[in-house]
Structure 1
Amino acid sequence: MRALLLVTLVCFTQFAFSQTSSIKGSARDTLEKKNLSNAVISLLRPADSTLVKFSRTNANGVFNIGNLEGGEYIMLVTFPKFADYSDRIKLPAGEELNLGAIPLTPKSQLLSEVIVRANNTIRVKGDTTEFTADSFKVREGATVEELLKVIPGMSVNSKGEVTAQGKRVDKVLVDGEEFFGADPTIATQNIGAKAVDKVQVYETKSEADQLKGIGASGDGNKTINIKLKESARKGYFGRIEGSTNFDNLNNGKVMFNRFKGSKKFSVYGTKSNISTGSLGWEDRNKMGIEDDYEYDELMGYYYSYGDGDSEFNDWSLRGLPNAYTAGALFGDKWREDKNKLNLSYLYNRLGTTNTTITNSQTLLEDTTFFNNSTSSSKGLSQQHSVNGKYEWKLDSLTSFKYTAAGSYRLKDNQTVSYSEALDENNQFVNTNDRTNTGSSSKKQLDNVFTYKQLFKKKNRQLLTTLRLGLIEDESDNLLQSTTRFYKNGLVDSTDLIDQQKINTGNSTTYGAKVTFNEPLNNEWNLVTEYSFNKNVSESRRNSYDRGFDGKYTEYNQTFSNNFDLDATSNSGSLLARYQGKKLRMAFGSGLSAIQLNMKNLDNQTKNKYNFTGFTPTVQFGYNLKTQTRIGVTYRGNTVQPSLSQLQPLPNNSDPLNIYIGNPDLKVGFNHNININYNDYKVLSGKYTYMGLGATFNDNAITQFSTVDSFGKRTYNPINVDGGYNYYLYGGWNSGQSPKKLNHEIRPEINGGRNVNFINGQRNMNTYGTYGLTYTVNYNFPEKFNFNIGPSITRNISKSSLRPTANNNYWSYGGRAYAYVKLPWNLELDSDADFNLRQKTPAFSNNVNIIVWNANLYKKFLKDKSLRIGVVAHDLLNKNIGFDRTINSNFINEQRYDRLARYFLLSVNWTFNKMPGSN
């Protein structure tokens, strides 16, 4: 018995020893660029600041502390005549954490408080840039959105959309978790800047991409993580807002956040006639499910009827809104954070009314059609969204995660429109009166189960993901259209349409992915991955003409289509990853096979398609210095045709523009290459970033258009070569220092060439936009600040079919903001958006939009938490909805409804009860 106990004790000791972690790194002099020997490295417990372990750097300035338990520590680095360095670190269980070179600054260089604060203002750690919130001064009561406006490399437009380091931010996390699902503005516009500890910016990646160490598999957008201070995670905070003009405009918002230990609870609600309730920047609701390229590549093979254009965001808003939103969020952690639960619910309701006036030109080789249209629309969109996530950490090596997201969407809309086309002699070519009325519904449920397994061998890891997606949708639409075609100014023929279109569909998608990382040594890792996905769907699309009895009973086979689809995808990849002290790189490739089996129920035929995908990847990252990094990435990917492009199904929703599919499309291939550079000067606070890249298209899917003498266009997709696009963005920031002028310069270039066919002739359209923005700001904390950012852009478009057409123009814009604190607890802030467009030969009027807003508030109560004031929107009464599109043979200008000048009485109360708050 004693022998058995001894063996058990030895095995347990070995197992416990295998779970120990270690930390290594070096201490470096930022002035003389050399490592420091005998620097003291101390590890403290965050809860009570007790010393856990300490060590000194060796003769080479390197340290290594072993036999540590996984968890959070406060690291303190000290050296004589140098400023102390402290940071909070999280040590994974059973792993070695390499902190790299830790910068220490001589006290002789710390000439002022500004320089002391700048030491930890920005940190570049791998792909993540971290900003210390307290280093950027904002006014009392400011929100996270106002904080982001003063962080280098970030900008926030009037719609609340954030751009970070030249890329759009598509996700905002709070302490690593989504805050009310996929709605970033709820976090940025409601959490106070005072509650924020750090702001982290990094590429949006799936968990599998993080394991592989490569760039994002999507469009390379950015994610912001807002890390709250420990004090903000205790007690409660929130805000209540209300404003009205005592007539037809009202805007109300309430938010309450409660933290009790590991539990958090939030509720949110809005009612507004001036916005959509600030619900999201995304064109679609991601529902908290991570993007997955292999999974999503089958999503293009299902027709969705109930999705519509339900976009609950201000950025895409057209018309006058009437919006309601409500939501709740609950989160909890227990058993030493081994169990985590997050639940959220969000309801959106958006009603809109809008009138759109469109003027456009169709440029053919020897003919120009002038098109004018007016449409009036009324719509109501509703959405219920439920998200849930449960994480269970079985032990230090094994964890499980289950995510479920469901939505139920409803939409009703009616559009009445009139359009006319004129020839160069100002005679009618065609006219159209059309009414589209419809309603749709869509139910969607996505489920993801993730199993993550670590091993005793350092860095060996297995990641398994199972997915199940269910969709049910339907729509019922009425199309009533009268089209008159003219010859020599007289009516030649008339086309009448009076149809009911009933569409139903359902889809089941399931899949599995296994990713395994095998460390070859301390620097090299080999990552293998295999995924299987399958989609089974039904699509019923039927049109009925109106009969003599007034009922829609006459089946129209031309505009009907019914089919069943079975889509299967198999893909695998092999990637080698190297991570050294300065150099990081990854290279490999993936291969996928997609098979589509389609059964046409109308004519009882079967079609089979087979597509092969190829995804080579090469990526390099090199740390030139501690806070200077450069990266180069190449990615190749195949582009499969979507089902709507393959299906030869005419759609007469717009009788003057008929779309027909092409079942003979081939697979396209894109070559993507990009270079990025980041540099931060610790002492001066100067920050520089740059990104440039290009995409070259082989077998790109474009359009073959035919426009007849009556101005009727029929188009279908085809494959062509010769297309490409390129981009460049960058920025230089002089440093964010209070009571000092700060400067930032941001160039931006986008351009390329696409190829299409018009009336059988090949047309190459070369386009480009070249812009430069210069921003200057001054911040006197709690007194006043201003930010002025003018921009200039040159827009170029040239068509080989009409090389003499001049569609080039200048546009001037920018944004200005100012805040001043006045006597008697008064505050005045004002902002203006400028958008000035030069006239073109096609449109002879300059379009200048200047939206100038101002707010005057007075603070009340002892803690100044109550603000009462006046909101003035669009003082110059120049706010109009406007959009201009110029490409190859098509020039288009649209004007639509937007709220112009109004004045509101506003009441705003922010409250909090947290340790350390007043």
Structure 2
Amino acid sequence: MKRLLIFFVFMSQVALAQKITVRGQVVDSVSHGLPGATVIVLNPKDSSLVNFGATDVAGKFEIANLARASYMLKVTYVGYKTYSASIAPAEGDIVNMGALKMVPAQTKLDEVVIESEKIPVVIKRDTIEYNALAFKTNQNATVEELLKKLPGVEVDNDGTIRSQGEQVKRVTVDGKTFFGTDPKLATRNLPADAIDKVQVFDKKSDQAAFSGIDDGQREKTINLELKEEKRNGVFGNLQGGVGTDDRYAAKLNLNRFKKGQQLSVLGMGNNTNEQGFAMDDYMSFTGGTQQLMSGRGVVRVELNSNNSTGVPVNIGGRNSGIMTNYAGGVNFNNEFNKKTELNASYFYNHLDHDIDMTTERTNYLTSGNLQFNQHSRQLSTNSNHRVNTTLEHKLDSMNSLKFTTSTTYNETESNTTSDSQNFDAEDNLLNESTGRSSASGTSASLNTNLLWRHRFSKKGRTLSVNAQLSVTDSDRDGDQDATNIYYTGDQETTTVLQTNTQETSTVSYSGTLSYTEPLGNRKYLEANYTFRQNLNDVDKKVYDVQNENYVFNSSLSNQYKSDYQYHRAGLNFRMNRENYNVTVGSSLQQTYLDGDLILLDQKISKSYQNLLPVARFNYDFSTTKHLRFDYETSVQEPSIQQLQPVVDNSDQLNWYVGNPDLRPAYAHNARLNFTTFEPGKFVSFFAFVDATYTRNAITTAQSYTEQQVRVSTPVNVSSTTRLSGDATFSFPIQKIGSRFSISGNVSKQNGVNVVEGVESGVIQNTYGGRLRYDYRYKEFFDASLGANISRQSAEYEVSEQSNQLYFNKTFTAEANVSFLKNYQFTSSLEYLVYENKTNDYEQSIPLVNLSISRFFLKAKSGELRFSVNNLLDKNIGVTQTADVNYFQLQTSNSLGRYFMVSFIYALNKQLNPMGMRPPRGMMRVIRP
């Protein structure tokens, strides 16, 4: 055994001794190093790729572990001709190529352009660019699967995308809008095989992009840059499948792109909980968004807290309930000429949702905690139409117009049954309620925006005018039937039989005037003024049904009209330098609110004045290392619902009452962001620190009636603070074909708990970490392992016994094996663990999915797939939520095990003769 070990050690040393390392420096015509240049080592016999690398910030490179042989070296850099040289075998271990001087390119019609595998990640100022070819996905995978493999990018189970800790709000294709602003329509429907690059950046407003003066408005955006061959032809996927338990799934995705024109058609239908669109849209149409953002704490769902909510929202863990959805639409982009461009889309979706949920919530009181338990069942349907259009026209070299409009129409219906109980700290039953509610309604909205921009002859001097109009109209009918039993004092039983109608209309219009003036030496001044007015009209009528007679209930009804307007004037100064830029400025906002509570014969008249300073600083250490600091202030005005002192008793044991004395919250936010990438080693690091201080913060106060019914009311507290940070470190180990990504996050939030009029502090801490390991062996095998662990705690000043400590853990494993040329085996494991150390609750949910595919037809364009989903039949979803007033645990039904046979056909495979994604290092020769 010892001799055998010595033999292997000897052979390994011999093998290492036969390896050589190639070093050198890539420089320009004046001998300055060129960072980020691509260095390729080729076999001179067939020009096949042997290895590749990139230069560091000084232009130096090193490619190790090459067998002792002759090679061809090529160096590519944007704007320069390709450099070629021969590598001869060396006596030593090091081959020093010296300084390789690049020559500026002069493009000719017959020039041969060699495109090589680029480095996985490139940072270009404020844009992080991922090379899609460096991140292998399964055949016929969607863009969402590609995003999951990118370092620094996370994709939640519901399709929400985060990059460097921030949520991605918009996804574009080749810089063009794709089906409005819903990111999932692009990520869950476009094939990953069509993508060349993924670019992540903060999209500035149209006004800021035009004037060059930062106005602070940004959207975290992903742009999907298509492969060149996909821009001239038809591509997409057709898919259909049938399974056990009457499961089915069908999907259509067709795209025809050519110069100046994009046409995409989407269609889908399934009862397997797959969604190719965002669920958030439903809440905005049914009134749920206003309910969730009305100051009742964190975003959450209580199924019968408001029967206007037609579709519940999943706020963690797996998708809740069983869903059947049908959807389809068309997206069209066309450049009529150099001056005029049109984007238009139409999308329709219909969703049936069946959800069975159990809620356990502990409410923290100074007199002793209360336990609220609820079991509810909701059946809902929702149909939605959306039309979006954007027209841009350049009147001339100095003037341009941009017209944007969005129209929606929605129909919703829901039926909910529930059983609820409240218990005191000694587990005594205080009250209980059994109820049924239903609601149906329609809503329509129109949003338009017209932007005129003008450039003066003096460079940097601009003028722009932005006009907006928004109209929303909704009608809803509902009823509820509930029996309530109160055990405090003498036992009392009440029956509530009510019906209600609500008509809501909102008209909002605004105008913004912005002027920029150059001050010389790359300094600019911007002056702006904005006027906005919102007119609201709410008419809610509630009737008690008594002996088949409808009796108007004035205490629950509400007729409200409001006029909200503000004037804001601001001045910003901007200075640009070679390595940095600075923006400082401030705005003064004057706000007026006039409301009329007609049934209560009560007027609301308020005015606020706020100074809103802003400061921004960007510094570029190099082309791959950047620092950014942002400071801004904002005002959160009370919503209409928050200001109305009208009881909402849709949940019989949990009432909500507005507060007409509510003041606006004023927030200071500071953010420091750092990004760096080492091109020679493919190492990247992203980090940010975010701090928020809010004065007059709006929180939810709790009080209880004599019958122990909880009453929630929005109130102002002196201040709240939040500090958070996130960091991601990603690096490869090329020798073993691996890549690691390690992330950590932390947040600390100091809030105020208001119970029975008494304020007490609460501290919420979150510590988390994410780890991902990817391994790839040629084109035959790839695997990944991941872990995401979050430790969350809540410490209450009112009572240490109320403190909470809980963990959410997610472990993932994926493996893909290609064998016998035309077969592929895919497996995935997602292991969810929910732990509450305070009450010893623990729930584990292992989710196992397996599939085997057989590829056939030309270029493997056809796929026959047999799959099993949720192999262990774990049909439960779990959500844990901690707020300043309570801790809540929700469990719900979810989709169980089913088997399915599917056929997938990939169009336009003929443009890829290999029938697969090019392997790492594959080169393509393109002649213009």
Calculate the TM-score normalised by the size of structure 1: 0.83
Q: Distance in 2 between matches of 1:317 and 1:812?
A: 16
| Equivalent residue in structure 2 for 1:319, among 305, 318, 321 | 321
Q: Does residue 1:908 correspond to 2:904, yes or no?
A: yes
**2:710 equivalent to 1:717:** no
Letter in 2 for 1:164: S
Tell me what 1:420 maps to.
421
CA distance in 2 between partners of 1:496 and 1:875 (Å): 46
| Shift in Å, 1:914 | 7.3
Q: Is the 8 A contact 2:213 2:526 kept in 1?
A: no
Classify 1:795/1:40 alpha carbon distance in 2 versus 1 (closer, same or farther; 3 Å). closer
Q: CA deviation at 1:181?
A: 1.9
- Residue 874 of structure 2 aligns to a residue whose secondary structure is coil
CA change 1:871–1:913 in 2 (3 A) is: closer
What are the residue-to-residue correspondences of 1:147-546 with 2, within 5 Å? 147-210=146-209, 217=216, 222-280=220-278, 282=280, 308=309, 310=311, 317-335=319-337, 337-487=338-488, 492-546=491-545
Report the Cα distance in structure 2 between the residues aligned to 1:464 and 1:728, rounded to whole angstroms. Answer: 38
Report how far residue 484 of structure 1 moved.
Answer: 0.8
Contact kept, 8 Å, 1:738 with 1:781, in 2: the verdict is: no
2:777 matches 1:776? no
8 Å Cα contact 2:850/2:867 also seen in 1: yes
Q: Does the 8 Å contact 2:25/2:98 carry over to 1?
A: no
* Contact 1:213–1:586 (Cα < 8 Å) also in 2: no
State the partner residue of 1:83: 75
Residue 353 of structure 1 aligns with an amino acid whose one-letter code is D
Which stretch of the first structure deviates more once superposed, 397-406 or 138-147?
A: 138-147
Structure 1 residues without counterparts, runs of 5 or longer: 1-29, 42-60, 62-80, 89-103, 110-115, 288-295, 298-304
| Aligned-residue offset at 1:313 | 8.8
Identity %: 27
Q: 1:426 to 1:151 in 2, by over 3 A?
A: closer
Q: CA deviation at 1:886?
A: 2.6
Q: CA deviation at 1:320?
A: 0.7
**Per-residue CA shift, 1:535-577, capped at 9, x if unaligned?**
22321111111132x142x111101111222222211211111
Cα deviation code 1:798-846 (max 9, x no counterpart): 111112334113343232222111225111112222221224333x331
Partners of 1:709 and 1:535 in 2: CA distance: 39
1:498-897 aligned within 5 A = 498-548=497-547, 550-552=548-550, 554-708=551-705, 710-735=707-732, 740-842=737-839, 844-897=840-893
SS in 2 for 1:801: coil
TM-score, normalised on structure 2? 0.82
Say if 1:536 and 1:567, in contact at 8 Å, map to a contact too: yes
Q: What SS does the corresponding residue of 2:642 show, helix, strand or coil? A: helix
SS in 2 for 1:536: strand
> What is the CA-CA distance between 1:191 and the residue it aligns to?
2.5
Amino acid at match of 1:86: V
**Residue type of the alignment partner of 2:250:** G
Between the aligned partners of 1:809 and 1:831, the Cα distance in structure 2 is 26
Q: Matches of 2:196 and 2:552 in 1, distance apart?
A: 64
1:32 CA displacement: 8.0
Q: 1: CA distance between counterparts of 2:74 and 2:475?
A: 68
Give, in angstroms, the shift of residue 375 of structure 1: 0.9
Instruction: Name stretches of at least 5 consecutive residues in structure 2 with no aligned partner.
Output: 1-22, 35-57, 59-72, 81-96, 103-114, 286-293, 296-305, 916-928
Q: 1:286 to 1:759 in 2, by over 3 A?
A: closer
Q: Is the 8 A contact 1:614 1:638 kept in 2?
A: no
Matched to 1:880, the amino acid is: I
Equivalent position SS for 1:501: strand
Q: CA deviation at 1:277?
A: 3.0
Question: What is the Cα deviation at residue 173 of structure 1?
Answer: 0.5
Shift in alpha-carbon separation, 1:189–1:672, aligned structure 2, 3 A: same
Aligned length: 808
SS in 2 for 1:86: coil
| Cα distance in 2 between the residues matched to 1:38 and 1:809 | 58
TM-superposed deviation, 1:604: 4.6
Kindly indicate whether the alpha-carbon contact (under 8 Å) linking 1:765 and 1:887 is maintained by their aligned counterparts in 2.
no
Q: Which whole-Å CA distance do the structure 1 matches of 2:841 and 2:214 have between them?
A: 44
Are residues 309 and 523 of structure 1, via their aligned partners in 2, closer, same or farther at CA, if it must alter by over 3 Å? Answer: farther
1:247 Cα deviation after fit: 4.1
Q: For 1:98-123, what per-residue CA distance to the aligned partner results, in whole angstroms no more than 9, with x for missing partners?
A: xxxxxx996599xxxxxx96765433
- Secondary structure of the residue aligned to 1:651 is strand
Q: Deviations over 1:732-775 (max 9, x none)?
A: 11048595221111001122011021122212111111011121
Q: What is the SS of the residue equivalent to 2:186? A: helix
Q: Contact (CA 8 Å) 2:27, 2:101: kept in 1 or not?
A: no
RMSD, matched Cα? 3.1
Contact 2:242 2:249 in 1 (8 A): yes
Tell me if the contact between 1:611 and 1:640 (Cα under 8 Å) persists in the aligned partners.
no
Structure 2 Cα separation of the partners of residues 574 and 82 of structure 1: 52
Residues 837, 139 of structure 1: alpha-carbon distance in 2 compared, 3 angstrom cutoff = closer
1:898 Cα deviation after fit? 0.6
SS in 1 for 2:207: helix
Whole-Å Cα distance in 1 between the matches of residues 742 and 101 of structure 2? 31
- CA–CA distance in 1 between the matches of 2:308 and 2:347? 17
**Residue 818 and residue 604 in structure 1: after superposition, are their counterparts in 2 closer, same or farther (change >3 A)?**
same
**In structure 2, what residue type is equivalent to 1:413?**
S
Q: Deviations over 1:351-388 (max 9, x none)?
A: 11111112222232242322221111110011000111
Greater RCO, 1 or 2 (C-alpha within 8 Å, sep 6+) = 2
1:37 corresponds to 2:33: no
> Could you tell me which amino acid in structure 2 is paired with residue 606 of structure 1?
K
User: What residue in structure 2 maps to residue 112 of structure 1?
Assistant: none
2:921 is matched with none
Name the CA distance, whole Å, in 1 between partners of 2:196 and 2:857.
27
Classify the secondary structure of the residue corresponding to 1:804: helix
1:605 offset after TM fit, Å?
4.5
CA contact (8 A) 2:265 2:329 kept: yes
